[in-house]
Structure 1
Amino acid sequence: MTEAPLVLGEGPLRPEDVVSVAYGRRIVLGRAARERMLASRAVLEGALARGDAVYGLTTGVGAIKTISVAPEAQAEFQVRLLRAHRVGHGELAPPPFVRAVMAVRAAGLAVGVAGVRPDLAEAFCTALDSPVTPRVHQLGSIGQADLSQLAEIGLALIGYGEDGAALAATGYSPIVLQPREAHAIVCANSYSMGVACLGLHRADLALRALDVSAATSLEALCGNVDAMHPAVAAVRPHRGVAETVERLHKLLRGGGLLTGARRPRMLQDPLAFKVVPQTHGAARAALGHCRDNLEVELASSGDSPIVLAEEDRAISTGNHDITPVAIGLDYARLGLAQAVTIAGERVQKLLDGSFTGLTTGLRPDPGSPDDGLAIVANGAASLAAEARLLAQPVTLEQPTSGIAAGIEDRITNAPTAARRLHDMAGLAIRLAAVELICAAQAIDLRGITGELGEGTLRAYQATRRSIPVATPEAADGDIDALQSWLTSDELP
């Protein structure tokens, strides 16, 4: 069944809405949004007719905010503003990133305080129907409005350059910008927000995958499931802990560990096994905080100036500062890093016979000189290290206070924070796949397949569909397929 189009103006935009548009859902401008935009546009046109000084409408922007834009220069100024802000560098963003950006910017305009015509929001929506996605460079924004990325999209929307021609060739009609509209295109944090929504979605998947790999490792270790007792969350109810305990119980349900039919090997397991509820709970809390801030931002306008229809004027604001989201993204990565760290440690413990009571490297033949899975530890440590490096906060970094003649003396680095969350979550999912490979091998060596829980049995079976039992003669298997399963709807 084809998903119904997302209608802007019928309710707040949610992160999952942005994800759905990024992967192909249609988006259209609703009637209420259109009416709000027409009302604010009328106010701005009145200011223009009176000759009021309005930033980005009758003046230049940034360091040239004191220079007036003459009425006869408005059409040319719109194009020049977009060209001047096209300063991107680095790799091109994947098409889903760009589609997410376009959806977020259309939604921001639909709030109805930017003073632009509905036509501009509809241009974003119509362009999203095209099979052509504008090329956007990943680097160039410092997180005080994603000027460079949005300028590249804006130029495509007006039919400028190769991307504009490619878009127009699909039947899209380039928009002719009116006063203020070029500035309205770039004056937003839509790249940061779009990528943040995709990063949060991927991080949620990663944490669910780590729940599965952690529960399967508990089975493999014959761990003590008392540490997952519901009382753990009841007597210390930090956000996310109860949800994690419930999820672990669901995965282990029906298995020998949870029923008590299989006794734990040790009274006290290593912390990487014992503190999964607390650690994953903290990660869930961090991701939840990030989601809260994204939802506020998605339902808001980050424009400056904003039109106050009831006062018949436009005012300059600091709403382009995205500090709450940037800090939330840093917090999300720090939380996820804790779950990644203990996953990496569980891999090391599963490969160490002193903790499992099995062979080093989980070799099927104790007398074999073969390494077994021992060297898997290196790859796991590399993944965990890379992820932790991506978790380092970026909101404290201030490369210069001299941008725009010293006006932009405070930055957030929100786009970097968002990209790093997305990348880090991908590493976490890969690490969960590595952990499952080790856990499945230990389960086979113990011969306890028939004693697994409902969810951990499904994880074991999915692993064995892609990865054979490790022997000196066995093929390596397809870890990419296992990684894909960890992000699929089949995940328990």
Structure 2
Amino acid sequence: MVQLDASLTLAEFIRVVRNHERVVLALAAQERLAKGRAYVERLLERGDVVYGVTTGFGKFANVRIPLEKARELQRNLLLSHAIGVGEPFPTEVVRGMLLLRAQSLALGYSGVRPVVVERLVDFLNHNIHPVVPSQGSVGASGDLAPLAHMALPLIGEGEVEYQGRVRPAREVLREVGLEPLVLEAKEGLALINGTQAMTSLLALLVWDAEVLLKTADVAAAMSVEALKGSHKPFDPAVPRLRPHLGARAVAENLRKLLADSEIERSHANCSKVQDAYSLRAVPQVHGASRDAMRHVREVVERELVSVTDNPLVLWDEGRVISAGNFHGQPLALAADYAGIALAELANISERRVEQMLNPALSGLPAFLAEQGGLHSGLMISQYTAASLVSENKVLAHPASVDSIPTSANQEDHVSMGTHACRKAHQIYENTLWVLAIELASAAQALDFHKPLRPGKGVAAVYRRIREEVPHLDRDRYLRPELERLRQMIRAGEIIAVAESAVGALA
């Protein structure tokens, strides 16, 4: 069970979003919410002018709204702003949005009643998932359109996915015994003014990328053995003299994976002086991506415990502040950085594939084919990898450098953070494929070195791959095998096999 209070860890986020762990609202959070709401009620009684409470929104901020229209104002806000388009977000992204909005509100500085947060929690615990289109956010005033679609079902409007079917929200609420909420002053605005779509996307990416980074090290180690590369570039002295944390971790992983290699001993006295950068500089390249993703994780972890509402209701200080915590720029920059970091893993992986498939570089049969000419071997897998890498280069163009004014220039700088997060996810998916191609290529190349045995970590992974992907002795339909490898990478199975042989990887 995950308790919403003053903090939320990334691991807790994943447990709720993917494992459907039950959520409860802590008593301390309920008390904060009640105090915040009481302060808003006092403001209303005094007739204070407060943005989004007694005024319109955006360019209409100077339009006063009478108190008797407060409920209608909040309802209208959700209805008018729910105009996203495109394919719906996956269920796990929507669950993340529900959880993160509940957590942000539970901190108590948004002025909503406890029942609003409790209803978000109800949706999570009943597995009621609003249908949220993936396009339409510019990333400031937060994720307005996506969050409006997320919030609509709370008031009985819009559609939800429930038990595998998309149905009208009001119908599902009636079925599970929940009444549609009637939103009070400030509550509609508090539900949609925030960064929860982009944060959900980026949090999921950060979690998955940690498996991807380790798998890239395993793939590189296999390619080093397949190409009879030197192990010396991974000596501890190298990162000691240039002490980047990521490079040090990658070098350590490669030493573990390559330990006790008969292949290395077989070419100890060869005439080759240096390997290509895609082998020799693995710690520096993979390590830089690790350092980038470490920064991205820090940004996400801060956002998990942030109030991203406007205005901020500082009930404990007797103040209301209109500010910009909804702005997605911190996440937009981090998501762009993540996309670039993951794209580089694919870039260097594809170069190692080329090293193995090109007989002029590898000393192995062309395209690792037996009876080359009659059979093409893995020739076209490199084409696919090259295509994905080039697509990643387009996707890695920063979204955060763009901005288009909205709301009649009242909101004159926006982050495009949700675009950045969506692009980074596509880069991640493409990189999974490229690494699967590298693993398949390396396993095939290692077959040509038998009976020499690779390092013990590489050997363990090789054996597991061969349980799914047999040696390619003649051309066959390979896509299902690559898909299986891709699934194994995503699930962390490649890492688990490697760690069972060599211990925990950094």
Range class of TM-score, shorter chain:
over 0.9
Task: Find 2:397's aligned residue among 378, 388, 392.
Answer: 392
Counterpart contact for 2:370–2:474, Cα < 8 Å: no
Q: Which residue of 2 aligns with 1:150?
A: 147
8 Å CA contact retained: 1:210, 1:429: no
Given candidates 210, 233, 237, the residue that maps to 1:231 is 237
RMSD: 1.7
1:211-226 alignment to 2 at 5 Å? 211-226=217-232
| CA distance in 2: counterparts of 1:465 and 1:255, whole angstroms | 22
Within a 5 Å distance, the mapping from 1:421-436 to structure 2 comes to 421-436=424-439
Q: Is the 8 A contact 1:462 1:482 kept in 2?
A: no
CA offsets 1:98-151 (integer angstroms, 9 cap, x no match):
001111111110111001111111111110112331100001110011010111
1:22 to 2:21 alignment: no
Q: Which residue of 2 aligns with 1:132?
A: 128
Summarize the Cα distance change of 1:166–1:232 in structure 2 as closer, same or farther, 3 Å threshold: farther
The 2-side partners of 1:191 and 1:137 are apart by 11
Query: Residues of 1 paired with 2:15 and 2:266: CA distance?
Result: 44
Matched, 1:281 2:278: no
Is 1:192–1:414's contact at 8 Å kept on the other side of the alignment?
Answer: yes
Q: Which amino acid in structure 2 is aligned with residue 71 of structure 1?
A: L
**Which residue does the alignment assign to 2:472?**
470
| Alpha-carbon distance in structure 2 between the residues aligned to 1:433 and 1:32 | 47
Residue identity in the other structure for 2:431:
A
Residue 381, structure 1, aligned to residue 364, structure 2: no
Counterpart CA distance in 2 for 1:255 and 1:20 is 39
Q: CA deviation at 1:461?
A: 1.9
- In structure 1, what is the Cα distance between the partners aligned to 2:138 and 2:258? 45
Q: Residue 166 of structure 1: CA displacement?
A: 4.4
Partner of 2:107: 111
TM-score (norm 2): 0.92
Tell me the equivalent position of 1:174.
180
Contact 2:147 2:197 in 1 (8 A): yes
Counterpart among 76, 80, 83 of residue 76 in structure 2: 80
Matched residue, 2:488: 485
Would the aligned equivalents of 1:466 and 1:479 in 2 still touch at CA under 8 Å? no
CA distance in 1, matches of 2:125, 2:7: 22
CA distance in 2, matches of 1:62, 1:166: 33
Moved over 4 A (4+): none
In structure 2, the gaps of 5 or more residues are 161-168, 499-506
Task: Name the SS of the counterpart of 1:28 in structure 2.
Answer: strand
The 3 A distance-change label for structure 1 pair 227 and 111 is same
Whole-Å separation in 1 of the counterparts to 2:38 and 2:69: 21
Q: Distance in 2 between matches of 1:264 and 1:80?
A: 77
Cα-to-partner distance string for 1:321-374 (whole Å, 9 max, x where unaligned): 1212211111122222222111011111110111111111111235x4321111
- Superposed CA offset, 1:232-265 (max 9, x none): 111101131111111222222333356x465386
- Are the aligned partners of 1:8 and 1:30 in contact in 2 as well (CA < 8 Å)? yes
Instruction: Report the CA distance shift for 1:435/1:120 in structure 2 as closer, same or farther (over 3 A).
Output: same
State the AA in 2 paired with 1:462.
R
Say whether 1:45 aligns with 2:51: no
- Go from structure 1 to structure 2 and tell me whether the alpha carbon gap of 1:203 and 1:489 turns closer, same or farther (over 3 Å shift): closer
TM-score, length basis structure 1: 0.94
CA contact (8 A) 1:222 1:263 kept: no
CA distance in 2, matches of 1:223, 1:210: 16
SS in structure 2 of the partner of residue 65 of structure 1: helix
**Total equivalences in the alignment:** 482
Equivalent-residue separation in structure 2 for 1:445 and 1:428 (angstroms): 26
- Give 5+ residue unaligned stretches, structure 1: none
Q: Distance in 2 between matches of 1:275 and 1:315?
A: 50
Distance in 1, matches of 2:258 and 2:179, equals 56
Q: What's the offset of the Cα at 1:59?
A: 0.8
Partner of 1:331: 337
- What is the CA–CA distance in structure 1 between the aligned matches of 2:87 and 2:247, rounded to whole Å? 38
Question: Which SS does the other structure have where 1:299 is aligned?
Answer: coil
Aligned to 2:504: none
Q: Distance in 1 between matches of 2:477 and 2:193?
A: 53
Aligned partner letter, 2:482: I
Using the alignment, how far apart are the partners of 2:487 and 2:252 within structure 1?
A: 24
Q: Deviations over 1:33-73 (max 9, x none)?
A: 11111111111111111011111111111011111221211
SS of the aligned residue for 2:379 comes to coil
Match of 2:455 among 453, 458, 464: 453
CA contact (8 A) 2:170 2:180 kept: no
Q: CA deviation at 1:176?
A: 2.1
- The alpha-carbon distance between structure 1 residues 170 and 453, as it changes in their structure 2 partners (threshold 3 A), is farther
